[in-house]
Structure 1
């Protein structure tokens, strides 16, 4: 399968990127300039750091003296092979629920030092989750295609909205689900009927001559579409069954399914051996709601345990059997903590001690457990493929976030670092996998 490749010609490395850019002037060798719709200069600079350290996108306008003119922090929608799609909003009249037409959308080519404002899609309307980015093979430009897939009342028909930078406008068409994904191998409980409909929660870019993109419902499956085809259609690829479907005794659960992003993630990888594949990760968390609230008035939870499992898919056909476990599930209580790593986690207050019945017992470092830590948003690494990144917080919804790098083969914490303070309370997405070539 021909796939999207590097636009720089260099070997690419993983990055972790905060989902919101910072407003500030930090020029470097990647800095690029374009104009907003109101002809204000907009400057973008990318500062790369090796994971688990976060890389940062800085956005700045020399024509705007007051940073408060940015109505909200610039939002990164997608990152693919050194191309970043982001949006900014300046001096919006709306304080909350800013309408789509108020945003300026930009594509930034980190390697080519190119910044390009794309046409606002209004009056079209869609969520960031359904927007994908397809870089085109030009090193010194921001040439690309941007596409959004939106469900319609007919579950077999979707609206496909596509922007090609060489044309400069949005075009819309209806696409048919020609090859629906394979039926679930188990009967889905009534309370889990959400799994029977496809609601995209992220988009992956595969590329190739047809410009293949995948709209992923992280609970359910993938809808693949060749957006460069003159007659695009959709075809389904199932995802591994959610582990929350199964109770500890093996019975089928009837739990309701909310947002999947805190628990399931996917990425497309060009492996070092040349084989392209999908890599999928599932986080299973067991927690208990406590009767009291925390100091901020938010719900309080005690986390009993968590485990991570990863799958790879080299065929990408319409079969559950294509998914192969990379290794056995890694449970928090068997993850190895070397003494230096344990001390660092204690310093960050990321190890928790379960309350003891014996208040006179003496606590040791070993009493503080990793399994009682609140983790979310598992992110599969592109390089190396055996690492999974987890967002970790000392308490539920605590504003300070850290990144744990867990080696799934060695079953140990490979690294930990402060990721920053979450500036948006909605836990949408703050950890974006991407890849860029090193400077």
Structure 2
């Protein structure tokens, strides 16, 4: 388990925010407010959960308490898997044998409500196993029905060819007696290898996030390559391949070579009518082009990713540019109407270069991390290490993690208004917890909380 960190005290919400940024790594602590709910684990151990929320850019969190147990009794931190409307799915384990397999984790479903929040233990999916990022949570109809769907790669170790078949696991509350079901689904028409090729992909698709698109449709997102869309309630479900946009110029070198959360995020509007996508481009200095007076020459810069990719296929790896200085960053947002008619319908929305950002509120400047050398507010932002974007659900704001030094942990969340090109907000992250590669989850449970009787203070 990670180091024990006390949950931070969040500012009291002024009314209910339409959604919150929810930390996926929960805290082991006893907290009491109007979100409190409890149940029993599979071993009879009482499990209590409380949610502490605040408007973005603050990071909301949840706390789990098991009476009679101390933090050392937990194998790892409680882990949030997904959220949809008033629902939150998380897993927990207090069994020391759980390190031997995922089957020893308990899965819990929390339902937010102004007066009667609830917590229930779900049937275990074993022998159907999946990663947290492969799970989608769906609200169905108006009778408190829900479903949980997971898409898992089928690996064939006897071939080097990427597989186009997947296991689709499904649990429906309306058919709880059936438990978890499993079936094989395949990609109907693979497109991404033609639209945006990569060097020898080990898998055709690696899910990094799941989004719900309404009416039983789920999009399993490979943030580097594309979305596999499937209506999980169809009698014969198939996977439709929707490639994502080509990488921005500054990301050609890292494309499909590092975790995509570093540069990309995707979300869906509350009305399920628009997919919203953001890419943060790490801007590098341009290489010199070929001239008659230079002894060491570089070929002309390629004008597109596909041209660059073909060029790389003909060249040996060259690490001579590893010491180039970073030239700042630039964020670009796009949108795609739902239901998805064609990948050609991606619509460019906004682009913001960090050099063009305006700092209006002096308090925001005071909250920003400080490099060793002092600098003015507008000059400070380009010098910060900024990445891991999170796209807002209902406006044109992008949230990013930022720090002053490569050796530091991420220190703040900054909110960038893409349309008006200014710094909308800054919030400090809790000290002692590393958010660098931690996935954040967007949740609408704040709509279902009674804030008049709720608080974020310890019980």
- Band of TM-score, shorter chain: 0.7 to 0.9
Which residue pairs with 1:340 in the alignment?
362
Pick from 93, 101, 104: which aligns with 1:102?
104
CA contact (8 A) 1:218 1:264 kept: yes
Q: Report deviation, 1:98.
A: 5.3
The answer to whether 1:74 aligns with 2:78 is yes
CA contact (8 A) 2:17 2:55 kept: no
Which residue pairs with 2:55 in the alignment?
50
Change (3 A) 1:42 1:372: same
**TM-score (norm. length: structure 1):** 0.80
CA contact (8 A) 1:400 1:421 kept: no
Change (3 A) 1:422 1:194: farther
Task: From the CA coordinates, give the structure whose radius of gyration is larger.
Answer: 2
Change (3 A) 1:387 1:367: closer
Which residue pairs with 1:7 in the alignment?
none
Which residue pairs with 1:161 in the alignment?
169
Change (3 A) 1:165 1:244: farther
Change (3 A) 1:40 1:411: same
Which residue pairs with 1:170 in the alignment?
180
Q: How many residues align?
A: 388
The answer to whether 1:391 aligns with 2:396 is no
Which residue pairs with 1:198 in the alignment?
205
Q: Report deviation, 1:121.
A: 2.1
Q: Report deviation, 1:117.
A: 1.2
Q: Report deviation, 1:389.
A: 0.7
Moved more, 75-84 or 315-324: 315-324
Which residue pairs with 2:245 in the alignment?
240
Pick from 368, 374, 388: which aligns with 2:385?
374
Change (3 A) 1:402 1:367: closer
Which residue pairs with 1:129 in the alignment?
133
| 2: CA distance, partners of 1:246 / 1:26 | 42
The answer to whether 1:305 aligns with 2:305 is no
Change (3 A) 1:420 1:430: farther
Note the residue ranges of structure 2 that are not aligned, 5 or more in a row: 1-14, 157-161, 286-322, 451-459
| Helix, strand or coil at the partner of 1:240 | coil
The answer to whether 1:279 aligns with 2:289 is no
Q: Report deviation, 1:102.
A: 2.0
Q: Report deviation, 1:128.
A: 1.1
Q: What's the CA shift string for 1:8-44, capped at 9, x where partnerless?
A: xx99702011111111221222211111111111111
Change (3 A) 1:136 1:115: farther
Q: What's the CA shift string for 1:219-252, capped at 9, x where partnerless?
A: 11111111122221111222111215876xxxxx
Change (3 A) 1:54 1:45: same
| 1: CA distance, partners of 2:108 / 2:238 | 27
Which structure's relative contact order is higher, taking Cα pairs within 8 Å and 6+ residues apart?
2
| Helix, strand or coil at the partner of 1:333 | helix
Q: Report deviation, 1:318.
A: 5.6
Change (3 A) 1:161 1:391: same
The answer to whether 1:34 aligns with 2:39 is yes
Which residue pairs with 1:146 in the alignment?
148
Q: Report deviation, 1:160.
A: 0.6
Change (3 A) 1:49 1:84: same
| 2: CA distance, partners of 1:301 / 1:254 | 14
Q: Report deviation, 1:184.
A: 4.2
Change (3 A) 1:27 1:324: same
Change (3 A) 1:429 1:317: same
| 2: CA distance, partners of 1:54 / 1:109 | 20
Q: Root-mean-square deviation (CA), in Å? A: 3.0
CA contact (8 A) 2:401 2:410 kept: no
Moved more, 108-117 or 68-77: 108-117
The answer to whether 1:114 aligns with 2:118 is yes
Which residue pairs with 2:348 in the alignment?
325
Change (3 A) 1:138 1:104: farther
Which residue pairs with 2:303 in the alignment?
none
Note the residue ranges of structure 1 that are not aligned, 5 or more in a row: 1-9, 248-252, 289-299, 354-362
**TM-score (norm. length: structure 2):** 0.76
CA contact (8 A) 2:89 2:108 kept: yes
Q: Report deviation, 1:270.
A: 3.1
The answer to whether 1:219 aligns with 2:224 is yes
| Helix, strand or coil at the partner of 1:261 | helix
Whichever structure has more helix as a proportion of its residues is 2
Which residue pairs with 2:293 in the alignment?
none
Q: Report deviation, 1:405.
A: 0.5
